[in-house]
Chain A
Amino acid sequence: MKHFLGFVIKEFYHIFRDKRTLAILFIMPVVQMLLFGYVVTNEIKDAKIGILDHSQDVVTKKITDKLVSSGYFVVTKVLTSEDQIGACFRNASVKEVVVFEPDFAVKLQRDNKAAVHLIADASDANSANLIVSYTSAIINDYVQKENAQAAIPMQIGIESRMLYNEELKGVYMFVPGTMTLILVLICALLTSVSIVREKELGTMEILLASPLRPLQIIIGKVMPYAVLSFVNVITILLLSNFVFGLPIQGSIVLLLLESMLFILLSLSVGIFISTSTSSQQTAMLMSMMGLMLPTIILSGFIYPVENMPLVLQWLCHVNPSTYFIIIIKNIMLKGLGFMGVWKETLVLCGMIVFFITMSVRKFKIRLE
């Protein structure tokens, strides 16, 4: 036991003396959280719009006021004719133009029907979509309230509610993904590189010729990273709670236990990579291409799995990150207990067994 501890201490020396490792361990998680939190966001805030009001009546004024007071939009251009619309979009001074038809209020009163024309800059398709749906939601809301006062029968009102994330906050989406990404990077990438480094520098030769068992070498290598990743999980949760106001609905203990399970899985993937490569660069590339990209793209982190082509969906299903993201979302956002995540937990356990068995079988007690 004592010689194992000596090994772990040595590993901590390596970590705390390598600036790059330290940066990846402690600075990257915070930077990533802040980046995803503030920069990568799907929310609309102060979108510039133009108003072309052919009617200039009470109703159109009220709707315009409502759009502005929602906080989503700022009116930067007031247009007077259709000809100006093109120019507005071309010099990118607005994202959307709202056109009210002539005699808007009159038509609404008389026919119960009036037309608004929404023209959006769809060179950025996602935000165009969002802007248009936000605008139409505000207009519909207004019309419905007016109609309610008028008490016209047979009104069908559609009311939607966004469960678990009422305000459609981006932070709800990126925290689970970012946490997954950071754990994968630290556990898999750093451990694989650190084991391969011993091979590359020739120190593995001495370690192998010593009484240390292969399992002790492996566990001694990954132990510090497991501890430090767990520290990171806590940092991320604190950041998301206090900086971004993301509450944890479910059991925090369960969340931490599941995180530990995922840390274990990522470590075993890292070990597996290290047993199959002999240079730090290859290990790094394999971790980057084989783990980081799938975690970002093929896990439901950013793009929903259901919308992908079938082949990519298969890839998502063998990607451990997919399951962990589901687990975090279920616990953090939906507040589900263990019964809500047992299937995913089982998959993670199975993957751990698979990778550890493969690594132990591939680990060489001798040189090649």
Chain B
Amino acid sequence: MNTVIVENIHKSYKKIVALEDITFSVDKGEIFGFIGPDGAGKTSLFRILVTLLLPDSGKATVMGLDVVKDYKKIRKMVGYMPGRFSLYQDLTVEENLTFFATIFSTTIQENYHLIKDIYSQIEPFKDRRAGALSGGMKQKLALSCALIHKPEVLFLDEPTTGVDAVSRKEFWEMLKSLRNAGITIVVSTPYMDEASLCDRVALIQNGSILKIDKPDLITSSFGKNILAIRSSNIHKLLNDLSNYPACDSVFPFGQYVHYTAKENRISKEELEKYLTALGHQQLEINPIEPNIEDCFMSLMNEAS
């Protein structure tokens, strides 16, 4: 059974189109990730799913309940963590958790087992005001609060944005154990590297879904060889590569430039000759496996 089913959802704010013809479904007990840059429409989509926004057209159900008609029932069953830190900064860690437990008519004791792994990490600070917590701890508290009523589906809108690398890793570990406990998780992130941590991902850009699949299937279906190229002058390298006749795409990736060729006619030697002739020094050319970001870039290019 599908926990979340979305069919042809459209949403626009005045003239700005936020979501365009979104269709997907989430299976029970999977981590479904939305990967896309800021402004892609992730938050609007999440708000529609947790009944906070009305779609302009289309249909969406969560656990078989319509997000427009049955909003009261859905609100009892889902856990929602908004993108912005939305807890009470002037309440302590414990008071926040107690508050969210009581408004869902439950207690911390009753569902402690569910949040134990997460909450035990911040429990030493339970008398501290939530506003005085670090970014990673805030997110753990927010997750605990979203979990305390034992929701069947969790909607996490960019839970790892602004969190350090170590905390991010921990956070994903927790999501995995929650998934193993049977909770369906819909999560969004702007970080491409987090895609591989999801069971399935949807790449989203400008309000449209570019592709939905398992992360390794997305990368393996890339279908082109990629060279990671580096030289002492990255800027010049980018220019020279895009002027190269066989060039299909070229994007900067940190210290490297990722390059694909038209019809996949890639030749490391020819390229090296071409670039050395143009005066590039400390040249380094390595064939690499495509990652999600490469796929995202090429899908984005295709779409536009």
Contacts and interface: CB of A to CB of B under 8 A. Distances in A.
Interface string B87-111: 1111100010011101111000000
Contacts of A211: 72, 75-76, 103-105
A18 interface: yes
Contact of B104 (A3, A202, A366): A3
Q: Chain A interface: which size bin?
A: 20 to 34
Contacts of A205: 52, 82, 84, 86
Contacts of A10: 88, 91, 95, 99
A40 B257 CA distance: 76
A242 interface: no
Interface in B52-72: 52-54, 71-72
B80 interface: yes
A206 B98 CA distance: 15
A6 B52 contact: no
A210 B103 contact: yes
A26 interface: no
A137 interface: no
Contacts of A209: 50-52, 75, 78, 80
Nearest to A204: B86
Interface residues of B, number: 30
A284 B103 CA distance: 28
A367 B53 CA distance: 6
A244 interface: no
B24 interface: no
A145 B72 CA distance: 83
Nearest to A368: B53
B168 interface: no
A203 B88 contact: yes
B85 interface: yes
Interface string A210-225: 1110000000000000
Nearest to B13: A368
A208 B53 CA distance: 11
A366 B76 contact: no
Most chain A beta carbons < 10 A, residue from B53, B75, B84, B85: B75
B47 interface: yes
Most chain B beta carbons < 10 A, residue from A14, A202, A211: A211
A7 B104 CA distance: 11
A312 interface: no
A354 B271 CA distance: 77
Interface in A170-226: 201-203, 205-212
Contact of B86 (A2, A203, A212): A203
Given A209-B51, A209-B78, A18 B104 contact: no
Contact of B87 (A3, A6, A203, A365): A203
A151 to B, nearest CB: 80
A366 B88 contact: no
A13 B98 CA distance: 13
A17 interface: yes
Given A2-B105, A14-B90, A210-B103, 8 more contacts: A13-B95, A17-B90, A205-B84, A209-B80, A210-B100, A210-B104, A211-B103, A366-B71
Interface of B: 47, 50-54, 71-72, 75-76, 78, 80, 82, 84-91, 95, 98-100, 102-105, 145
Nearest first, the 8 A-B pairs at minimum CB distance are A6-B102, A202-B86, A202-B84, A211-B76, A3-B103, A209-B80, A367-B52, A17-B90
Interface of A: 2-3, 5-7, 9-10, 13-14, 17-18, 201-203, 205-212, 365-367
29 contacts: A2-B105, A3-B102, A3-B103, A3-B104, A3-B105, A6-B98, A10-B91, A13-B88, A14-B91, A17-B90, A201-B86, A201-B88, A201-B89, A202-B82, A202-B86, A203-B87, A203-B88, A205-B52, A205-B82, A206-B87, A206-B100, A208-B52, A209-B50, A210-B75, A211-B75, A211-B104, A211-B105, A365-B71, A367-B47
